[in-house]
Amino acid sequence: MTVENDLIHLIYQDIGFEDLTTKALIPPDMDIKAHIICKQDGIISGADLVSSILRKFSLMVYLEKQDGEQVSAGDIVMEIEGNAQDLLGLERTVLNLLMRMSGIATLTSQMLEKAAVVNPDVILAGTRKTTPGMQFFEKDAIRCGGGDTHRYRLDDCVLIKDNHLALVGDVKLAVEKARKYASFTKKIEVEVETLKDAVRAVKAGADIVMLDNMSPDDIKNVLTTLESLGLKDKVLIEVSGGITPENIADYSETGVDIISTGYLTHSARALDMSLEII
């Protein structure tokens, strides 16, 4: 996979010309056993990817926990055997990746649980507020936590945002131009900030309408209006903007189809783990 090759490139960037400390202290023919242990409760993500990278460096890996699986503090995630110099050179990069992805998966699971209490059918999705170069891994972590990846890249679907509308000047025209340009397989989503534009976007044929930075009361008003106009069943309604663990239940309770939030990636804390030689 290209993404794995990109990560291996990052590993060599971290090592530089050599792992100076390890080369000075550890003989080149020493083999060791180690395990990665979780220090917090959470959801694992990145185990398959990390094990694949370790195996590319001829290390043997035995997974104790699978991606998407719940873990408790003290649980062993994986055991590793092989050359000591190779493992110590990889240690920090693979731990950083595993901890970051597991932190995102854990936060996604926690927020989804809060949303689902009041709206069991709601979809919780990430946004493109990801770390450049890491979007594939961070989005995959969202999926491990039970969320939806939304767009990985700009070519996944059409998302007409406020700046597009400012330049085009009209919601209906923007949807028509997008429909003409994009393949029939691509969904068209429109971001709106007012009730008027929400109605216009649905009437223009948008597949998804994103209500951006609206309060729960404003969102309910939009849904009620669309229902009264016979338009609600013609579109998926997504909400986004300022959604956190503290208020996600309020947004979910409105009855929307999708909640998307950058909080899953820009505010996730890494799940603490360590590599210990045994």
Per-residue pLDDT tens over the stretch 9-40: 888 888 888 889 999 999 999 999 999 999 99
Mean pLDDT, the chain, integer: 94
Q: By the 8 A CB rule, do 79 and 35 touch?
A: yes
At 16 the pLDDT is 81
Per-residue pLDDT tens over the stretch 42-100: 999 999 999 999 999 999 999 999 999 999 999 999 999 999 999 999 999 999 999 99
Going from the N-terminus, what domains does the chain have, and what CATH number goes with each?
Answer: 2-104+269-277 (3.90.1170.20), 111-266 (3.20.20.70)
Per-residue pLDDT tens over the stretch 240-253: 999 999 999 999 99
Residue 220's contacts (CB-CB under 8 Å, 6 or more residues apart) are 254, 255
* Residue numbers annotated as active site: 129
Which secondary structure element, helix H or strand E, spans residue 90, and what is its range? helix 84-118
Q: How far is CA 14 from CA 7, 18, 19, 96, in A?
A: 11, 9, 9, 12
Q: What token pair was written down for 155?
A: 């070519």
Per-residue pLDDT tens over the stretch 129-174: 998 888 999 999 999 999 999 999 999 999 999 999 999 999 999 9
Does residue 3 surpass a pLDDT of 70? no
Q: How far is CA 221 from CA 100, 199, 271, in A?
A: 38, 12, 39
Of the given ranges (14-18, 85-89, 108-112, 124-128), which has the lowest mean pLDDT? 14-18
Residue type, 57: F
N residues, the chain: 278
Does residue 1 surpass a pLDDT of 60? no
